[in-house]
Amino acid sequence: MRWATPRVPDIKIITDRFHLYDRILQRNVALIQGFGTPCTYWRNKAISPIGVSPNPATSTKCYCWSTPVDGGGSTTSQTVQPQRDHFLCSGTGWLDVEGGGGGYQKYGYREHVFSTPSVLTASTKDVIVSGTRNSSYIVSGSSISGTLTTERITLNKFKDFNYLLVNDEFDAAANRVDYSYSLDDTTWIPLTLTNTTGITKNIGNRQATISLPEGTSYIRFRITLLKRLATAPSPKWNSLRFRYRNTLTLAEIDPRFGDIQIPAFLASREQIAQQVEGSAQNMGWITRFPLKWKTLPDTDIENSDVIRFLKGTFVGLNFETHDLLKFTYGESTQILHRGFESVLVRDGNDVLKIAAYLL
């Protein structure tokens, strides 16, 4: 037997008719804008949201993977893990992940790091890598100069320059390291470097400022190693890190937060939840009061991100996100909002070792 009309209403037609998705999303926007706390986060690029490690064929491993599995002195053996407190890769073990930057990437920014494992074009064979665990480029033999040119960095939605930090070693009486950049692969503009101060000293010994117009499409850097005499010792170049902003600041989005001149998002704290875990067989019970938050869909926060609150009770503290939930709607699973728990980064957490590098 066939029914002349459906036995139950077509739910999809009803929800589309009343625009439930739009109404719920507008409600979430109003709640989070009214009660949200400004936040930023850093994402570990060594682990994808589904737990997949980078592909070594398309990504660049940091040189801190240098402890052999067998415990011997060989530096060519397959290694177990990177140095968890390494300043260059922030303990992640990767300088670049499939062309999108490596280490910990800050919300609203894109950072690129170049060092001895990176793809660099040397002007002469006398520009060589010295050392393994803390390797650097030097000029060998009787050569008095040599250059290293980075790959072209494509600037995605470039807004403005954030920082350029380098690590090098030189003796002004015997040698030096010069830096320049090009926006067209023809004209090279020299950079003026100064010593770093404050927290930037953790990841670089010198810094430079670049003035670039919004919308700049790409940039390339050149490092020049110079010796005063052929017999003089060579300078050493270890790394260059360049970061730019590609997202609007919170002040530009919401005038209420005029003092927050960096990209940020709002997270609203949910009601305090009490969880009791354990059993008598396991020698007791554990009572937890997890901090639960919700954000809007465009925040794109994921598990294991390091979140820092910019205002409020938890200002300046680092938390790690976990138990992420994506509240979705409809057959296309459109996201209404994201919910997650946060755990304060404490002693014993690997993130604590690199907290000073998260700028």
What proportion of the chain, given as a percentage, has pLDDT over 70? 84
Phi, psi (degrees; rounded to nearest 5) at 293: -135, 160
Phi, psi (degrees; rounded to nearest 5) at 192: -100, 120
What proportion of the chain, given as a percentage, has pLDDT over 90? 53
How many CB atoms lie under 10 A from the CB of residue 174? 15
Q: Is the CB of residue 95 less than 8 Å from the CB of residue 114? A: yes
Residue 316 has pLDDT above 50, yes or no: yes
Residue 279 has pLDDT above 90, yes or no: no
Residues 6+ apart with CB under 8 A from 213: none
pLDDT tens sequence across 11-56: 666 666 667 777 877 888 888 888 889 999 999 998 887 778 888 8
Q: Is the CB of residue 202 less than 8 Å from the CB of residue 163? A: no
Pick from 181-185, 212-216, 283-287, 348-352: least confident: 283-287
Length of the chain: 359
- In DSSP notation, 155-183 reads -TT--EEEEEEEEEE--TTTEEEEEEEES
Mean pLDDT along residues 234-248? 96
C-alpha distances in Å from residue 252, one per residue of 261, 262, 303: 8, 9, 27
Q: Is the CB of residue 35 less than 8 Å from the CB of residue 271? A: no
Query: Comparing C-alpha atoms, which of 13, 117, 131, 111 is closest to residue 61?
Result: 117
pLDDT tens sequence across 67-121: 554 444 444 444 578 888 899 999 999 999 987 788 999 999 999 999 999 999 9
Average pLDDT, the chain: 86
3-state SS, residue 358: coil
Domains defined for the chain, CATH in brackets: 11-42+249-357 (no CATH), 109-246 (2.60.120.260)
Across 62-71, 188-197, 310-319, the highest mean pLDDT is recorded for 188-197
Residue 271 has pLDDT above 90, yes or no: no
Query: Comparing C-alpha atoms, which of 127, 123, 119, 99 is closest to residue 111?
Result: 99
